């Protein structure tokens, strides 16, 4: 042990002395003092001295990172929006005249970008480029040289068909990370186009969602699109971190099927448990309904070891959201019995233990519901939380939109847009104490084309004019379109 420590120390000393090019490069700007600061960092990494600036005033986590954002619809834009919130300069490349297809989908305000688009593209800049036009390719090649990450979620093969193969990109910029969302990973379905619900079905979510005696169900939460975008963002940040060490980029791939399965992993857990007996926490066990060889739909059963169900509150069913999720967590069983007026259940051997209760869950929840129906969901929440019973009111989107506490934390934000006026959006759900998120409106189509050409790419006025005149950045004329 001591020997190994000595060896490591000697190695570290040698490395510190070694005038290796890479070390010199990293330390070159601030020499002697920096080396001392490095030692102070626990994990030995070459971190700078801790900033003296107050928290929240030392820039953002991804300041200095530039993203070439080739994403569209939802999965990719979710990813790049997160990176933009963390401070990356996200340059969204859009097809001239059309842009991201969502700009014109589910339009609610005539003449304005849809909420579908605005709510997925905050804090980004937009440039229009026809990626198949020779001058468009020229601009893209320059962007590749100037960016750290290219993110795309085109149909399989589309990026290659534009000429932007990994080999081409890697040759232009070996440090570039190329991050993609695809529907499926390598395998029989790799060439398929995929939307949200396809992924929910192929990732195991739909077969395990819904009621046992009903069809499979998709969920309203966009676990295929937004869920995969989240996964991709993590992959990108990890690749950026690795690049600090290796100096080179890499490909990052998130398949939507994989992303959904990752979120549905407890169901793959249950699939394997089935080989060893019934799933006792599923209410069908208590009802004496046999299990087959695959995980059944579990309705509103809770996924963990603590039985739960959705119960009516005062106002249901006329009010479609007057419900509460109620968990009969074992340690608070006594409190539940007292609340619902069944104190004898605390000691009755038929009810006193979780095992004894399993076959009677339906009856128990029906009794609890008699009590919850006498109260509003918020009253149940207040009463139960006082005695540590975990419950969750079924909040409507209207209630969430009006919830003051979510406004205060920046989770729900009001944004002003020049064409649509004020609208609500979901802000960055990841809160950091030193990288503060501000939500800026989404860009208009091609709003930043000029500034990107000149400021980011350094094209001279004559070059900008040449590129523009070529038609690479604008939509074809109307009469051509009609022809
Ligand atoms: N200039 C010129 N051409 C452009 C362009 C630009 N700036 N941007 C896109 N295009 C072209 C592409 O090159 C492609 O052309 P080819 O098919 O000739 O190569 C074409 O536009 C269409 O791209 P696409 O196939 O990606 O788009 P689609 O609307 O047909 O399919 C989608 C959409 C989402 C099904 C598909 O992109 C896909 O499967 N993506 C991967 C999975 C994914 O992210 N799905 C989630 C979407 S969110 O619900």
Q: If you search the block for the tokens 């820039």, which residue do you land on?
A: 59
The residues near 471 (Cβ < 8 Å, ≥ 6 apart) are 130, 133, 135
To test the pocket of ligand 1, the residue of 92, 130, 158, 182 to mutate (highest count of ligand atoms within 8 Å of its CB) is: 158
Residue closest to 83 by CA, chosen among 256, 241, 234 = 234
Looking at residue 358, its pLDDT comes to 87
How far apart, in Å, are the Cα atoms of 162 and each of 129, 130, 165, 474? 12, 10, 8, 17
Looking at residue 481, its pLDDT comes to 43
What CA–CA distance (Å, rounded) separates 388 from 365? Answer: 18
The tokens describing 241, both together, are: 């971190």
Looking at residue 287, its pLDDT comes to 87
Task: For 409, list phi and psi in degrees, rounded to 5.
Answer: -85, -5
The answer to whether the beta carbons of residues 42 and 84 sit under 8 Å apart is no
User: Which residues, judged by CB distance below 6 Å to any ligand atom, belong to the binding site of ligand 1?
Assistant: 73-76, 93, 95, 129-132, 153-155, 158, 161-162, 181-183, 193-196, 225
- Ordered by start, the domain boundaries in the chain are 66-263+443-469, 300-389
Q: What is the pLDDT along the chain (483 residues), one digit of tens a residue?
A: 344 444 444 444 444 444 333 333 333 344 444 444 444 445 656 789 999 999 999 999 999 999 999 999 999 999 999 999 999 999 999 999 999 999 999 999 999 999 999 999 999 999 999 999 999 999 999 999 999 999 999 999 999 999 999 999 999 999 999 999 999 999 999 999 999 999 999 999 999 999 999 999 999 999 999 999 999 999 999 999 999 999 999 999 999 999 999 999 999 999 999 999 999 889 898 889 999 999 999 999 986 778 999 999 999 999 999 999 999 999 999 999 999 999 999 999 999 999 899 888 889 999 999 999 999 999 999 999 999 999 999 999 999 999 999 999 999 999 999 999 999 999 999 999 999 999 999 999 999 999 999 999 999 999 999 999 999 999 877 644 443
DSSP state for residue 115 in the 8-state scheme = H
Residue closest to 15 by CA, chosen among 5, 3, 24 = 24
Looking at residue 43, its pLDDT comes to 63
Looking at residue 45, its pLDDT comes to 62
Can you tell me which atom of ligand 1 is nearest the CA of 181? 44
Looking at residue 476, its pLDDT comes to 78
The residues near 388 (Cβ < 8 Å, ≥ 6 apart) are 331, 332, 335
To test the pocket of ligand 1, the residue of 75, 135, 154 to mutate (highest count of ligand atoms within 8 Å of its CB) is: 154
Q: CATH number for 66-263+443-469: choose from 3.40.50.620, 3.40.50.150, 3.40.50.300, 3.40.50.10540.
A: 3.40.50.10540
- CA-closest residue to ligand 1 atom 17: 158
pTM, rounded to two decimals: 0.90
Is-catalytic flag, 225?
Answer: yes
Residue closest to 256 by CA, chosen among 216, 204, 296, 188 = 204
Looking at residue 305, its pLDDT comes to 73
Q: 135-171 b/e with 16+ CB inside 10 Å = b?
A: bbbbbbbbbbebbbbbbbbbebeebeebebebebbbe
The answer to whether the beta carbons of residues 156 and 123 sit under 8 Å apart is no
Distance 101 CA to ligand 1 centre (A): 9
Can you tell me which atom of ligand 1 is nearest the CA of 101? 29
Q: Does 66-263+443-469 match 300-389 in CATH topology?
A: no
The answer to whether the beta carbons of residues 117 and 103 sit under 8 Å apart is yes
β 412-417/251-255 pair status: unpaired
Model confidence pLDDT, tens digit, residues 292-331 = 999 999 999 986 778 999 999 999 999 999 999 999 999 9
Q: Could you tell me which CATH class the domain 300-389 is placed in? A: alpha beta
Looking at residue 36, its pLDDT comes to 45
The tokens describing 448, both together, are: 């930043």
Model confidence pLDDT, tens digit, residues 163-200 = 999 999 999 999 999 999 999 999 999 999 999 999 99
- Among 113, 225, 270, 301, the one annotated catalytic: 225
Distance 209 CA to ligand 1 centre (A): 30
Looking at residue 47, its pLDDT comes to 85
């Amino acid at each position: 042990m001591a020997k190994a420590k000595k060896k490591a120390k000697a190695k570290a000393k040698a490395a510190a002395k070694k005038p290796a090019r890479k070390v010199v490069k990293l330390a070159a700007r601030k020499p002697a003092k920096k080396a001392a600061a490095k030692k102070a960092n626990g994990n030995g990494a070459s971190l700078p001295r801790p900033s003296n600036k107050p928290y929240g005033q030392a820039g953002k986590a991804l300041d200095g990172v530039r993203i070439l954002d080739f994403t569209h619809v939802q999965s990719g834009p979710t990813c790049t929006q997160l990176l933009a919130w963390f401070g990356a300069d996200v340059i969204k490349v859009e097809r001239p005249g059309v842009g991201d297809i969502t700009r014109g989908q589910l339009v609610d305000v005539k003449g304005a970008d849809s909420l579908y688009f605005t709510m997925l593209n905050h804090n980004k800049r937009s440039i229009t480029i026809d990626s198949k036009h020779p001058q468009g390719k020229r601009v893209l090649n320059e962007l590749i040289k100037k960016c750290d990450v290219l993110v795309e979620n085109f149909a399989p093969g589309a990026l290659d068909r534009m000429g932007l193969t990994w080999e081409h990109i890697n040759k232009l910029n070996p440090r570039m990370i190329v991050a993609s969302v695809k529907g499926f990973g390598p395998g029989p379905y790799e060439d398929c186009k995929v939307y949200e619900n396809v992924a929910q079905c192929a990732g195991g979510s739909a077969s395990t969602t819904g009621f046992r005696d009903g069809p499979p169900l998709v969920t309203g939460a966009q676990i295929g699109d937004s869920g995969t975008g989240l996964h991709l963002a993590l992959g990108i940040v990890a690749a950026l971190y690795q690049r600090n060490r290796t100096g080179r980029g890499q490909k990052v791939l998130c398949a939507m099927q994989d992303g959904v399965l990752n979120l549905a992993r407890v169901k793959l857990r249950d699939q394997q448990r089935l080989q060893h007996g019934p799933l006792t926490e599923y209410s069908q066990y208590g009802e004496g309904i046999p299990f087959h060889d695959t995980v059944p739909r579990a309705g509103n059963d809770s996924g963990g070891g603590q039985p739960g169900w959705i119960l009516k509150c005062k106002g249901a069913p006329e009010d479609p959201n007057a419900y509460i999720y109620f968990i009969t967590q074992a340690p608070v069983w006594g409190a539940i019995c007292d609340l619902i007026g069944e104190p004898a259940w605390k000691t009755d051997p038929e009810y006193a233990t979780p095992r004894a209760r399993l076959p009677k869950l339906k009856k128990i929840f029906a009794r609890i519901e008699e009590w919850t129906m006498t109260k509003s969901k918020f009253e149940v929440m207040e009463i139960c939380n006082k005695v540590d019973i975990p419950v969750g009111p079924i909040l409507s989107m209207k209630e969430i939109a009006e919830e003051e506490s979510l406004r205060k934390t920046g989770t729900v934000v009001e944004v002003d847009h020049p064409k649509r006026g004020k609208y609500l959006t979901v802000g960055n759900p990841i809160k950091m104490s030193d990288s503060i998120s501000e939500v800026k409106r989404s860009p208009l189509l091609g709003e930043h084309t000029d500034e990107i050409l000149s400021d980011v790419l350094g094209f001279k006025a004559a070059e900008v004019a040449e590129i523009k005149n070529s038609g690479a950045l604008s939509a074809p004329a109307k009469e051509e379109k009609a022809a």
